[in-house]
Chain A
Amino acid sequence: MKHFILFLSILVSSISFGQNYTISGSIKDSTNGEDVFGATVRVKELSNVGAVANAYGFYSLTLEAGTYTLLFRATGYESKEINIELVNDIKLDVELNIPQEIQEIKEVKVSAVKENDNITSSGMNVTKFDPKDIETIPVLFGEKDIMKTLQLTPGVKGAGEGNAGFFVRGGGADQNLILLDEAPVYNASHLLGFFSVFNSDAIKDVSLYKSGIPAMYGGRASSVMDVKMRDGNNKHFDMSGGIGLISSRLTLEAPIVKDKSSFIISGRRSYADLFLKLSNDETVKSTSLFFYDLNAKANYRINDKNRVFLSGYFGRDKFGLGDIFGFNWGNATGTLRWNHLYNQKLFSNTSVIFSNFDYEFNIGTGDEGFGVKSSIQDWNIKHDYSYYINSKNTMRFGLNAIHHTFKPGALTGENDAFNEIVLDPRYAVEMGVYVQNEQKLGTRFNIMYGIRYSGFNLMGDGKVYNFDDNGNLLDVTDYDSWESIKYHQGLEPRLSASYILTENNSIKMGYNRNFQFIHQLSNSTTSSPTDIWVPSSNIVKPQIADQIAMGYYHNLKKNTYLLSTEIYYKDMQNQIDYRNGAETVLNDEVEGDLVFGRGIAYGVEFQLQKKKGKFTGWLSYTLSRSLRQFDDINEGEIFSARQDRIHDIALVLMYKVNEKIALSSSWVYYTGDAVTFPSGKYEINGTFVPYYTERNGYRMPDYHRLDLGFTWYMKDSKHFKQNLNVSVYNAYNRENAFTITFEEDPDDPSKTQAVQTTLFKIIPAITYNFQLK
């Protein structure tokens, strides 16, 4: 550690002559005053000198006295040149304009003013989307969804129809850190995965880090998906919304104090179940099935040095079948943030974050009723600094502490047959301290290096169970409140570097080690809201992932085509699976039903993107493997993880016919998931039972699907815009397999057969969107 700090200070102290001055300020959108995250400022006269605005639009650049031309750029904006004479420190706030042509048809904004940033930026490439970029991409039921679009990019695989979650580079679905305004979201799906919890209208942008993960992020092994909510228009009132077949949404935003303070509030409600009311059957009629969610955010600029933000999310899914049963689940998050500028070079942010996920189901009512509840709740404090040391170095450091409360389950109700059961809650404190520097070496070489210390303290009160190798209970120990049960810790080095070969191509590499202290246990092929989260403990070790990745990036034809190739290798220690026949509900001793093993994942990803012109889109192809080895599964032999899809192709095309009409399509193809099928059968009690010989030794049929979209921008005025979106999901009606089951032929019990279930055949949808300002 000592050597590391020494190394750091040597690197940082770049020699400079003459008097230095600092230019700093914020970069904002001229139409609504939103901060522009990731905007860059470059000095035209000097090569490889510049700064990147942080998440709050703040930038700072220190240069020798002199005369310079500063070039401010951001994706989707016109670049702006400003001449300055630097003789003292300057505060320079910049507003970037959306190009005129794009302003008229704002929704098909796929411009790339910051044309070769993919080449010149330091760090491994981050997959980044603005919800507006993807507005026309066709999706299920016409509900645009940033998470579904991310799954069309290389290395990111959706868990499949009817499943929540996604897999990044062969990692598990619980290994993705999903943040909404810094608050972890434990279950990012609605309606069992058909929608994500992210309402595109309320979202500013989404960044997905697959490798070379910056040191400020910790806690999950595979990836970070950082979702930022919009701040709300601080120039004028704006109302927008959409009415679709199964859901509608409405967003209001306005200044509270013009240019100083604004708010946004955005809500959605689905109503698929209203169609069930048309049924003649009483049971079907009494079925309810819907979700709603609400995003709200307000910010206030106290003065030039201080700004506060308050944001929150609340969402709930409800499913009920009359009095027979009810099932509901949802997330709630809240974030209070304070930005403080100590001086022109040192920016800090302090956040207090709350996050909760819970589910509950009830069966029956009154004397016969009973229910099960479970939750996970976090209180989280973060304190982060951005220190713009000079034009070559930007340092970030900070610390973070999370208090977790796990309530794995409680049985409630009036039913006398059941004893009241409340599983012991688990308490833990997770902490992280990090420092990272982003440095420009010469004109071609950029490097980002950092280290994170992570610790996890599992605490009482509660009972702790010990098991033998076969999962049989050995003994139980009682712990007092705040008494440490087990402390886990580790150092996580993070590194990424890029070398600019020419203006049009570069190579990059990244290494990261990530610890994960909380784990989601999932028993079935379909992930569900009832999958429980468990902390690392005396039994469960932290998951550790090491990943090394390299990439080559090449832009062709004046940055019209962007070509990228990345390869990666990932090693995952202490992976978790259930023993056969594990009891997962209300089981105090669930840790005895767990087995531990190792995972490796490797692959190569290609993407060709066209970002300019009437015709835009991308083609991506991933060739990869994801394997597991558990001593207790498959007789210790290596087997394919479910998400071991060898080939994965996505083709997304968007065509702007004219100012009124935009067409789009997306086509996906991937190797079927690895599954376990029987290799024989036998008879028990006169019934044939499948005989399994290896775990995940077979494949589902390959999956492919074409979706089409058509957007019509209707006549609009200065204050009112509207469009109509028609989409067709699964346009050529492919019957993709959701499950394949092996069962007796109902007409002839001596025969057995394989039955495939398909969830979605062709589904058309129509959505009307409007904006009023």
Chain B
Amino acid sequence: MNERRAFLKGAIVFFPAGGILSALAREAAGAESAGGPPGPAPAGQPNGKKAYNPADHLYGMGIEIDKCIGCNRCAVACKAENDVPDVPFYFRTWVERYTIARDAEVLVENISLGSRKETAQDVREVLRTFFVPKLCNHCANPPCVQVCPVKATFTTADGAVIVDDKRCIGCRYCIQACPYGARYLHPKTKTADKCTFCYHRVVKGLQPACVEVCPTQARVFGDLKSKASRLVRFTRMNKIHVLKPQLNTEPKVYYAQLDGEVR
């Protein structure tokens, strides 16, 4: 029955809000609930349940390298969920394969590009090889937000870095400033686009699409402010590393068993 409870929790009437002006947010929630949250109606749910308050949450993601099987379901699901153009030039998330040979040569491939091939290297010459899922790190100190000239990209109160596509002027400074290559210019809207942690899902109690479909639980999504969250447990049970820590971006995507060759 555990699942049932989680289901009800997920279907709770939520109050979508940026968390800056609480009054405005409440007004917005009224407008939103009139349309009804997508998914099954919250049957028998008394109205006026605890509102979603973004300030109570701080989202992050854990990635366990040793569990990733490189099936690429996450990248496929992300494109489906978020209308990312289905061409191999735009990704909100993708999976890299690292192959480190005995002569210390490092071969990196992006298996999400679609042209997947067997590794050409002799197995005997391989020291270690593994997959690394990548996505926006939703940095606590995000260089993209720092450089946006018009404040079109910002961090929500619950820790997701998102883009206001009605305000983005398309200067692409944020794309240059992101050390992780997580941003692209959406060819249709001509505005910067990126992973939102599936913000429209998480405020409804759902998991991000990539986490949802990961068959091996290599991705763990959760709330850093909740002591009981899977993510907090993940960061307690593993040695954690983040990407490019020397840049002081303070990522909120935490990797377990990350290899030093991964940049």
Check if A and B associate: no
Residues of chain A whose beta carbon lies under 8 Å from any beta carbon of chain B: none
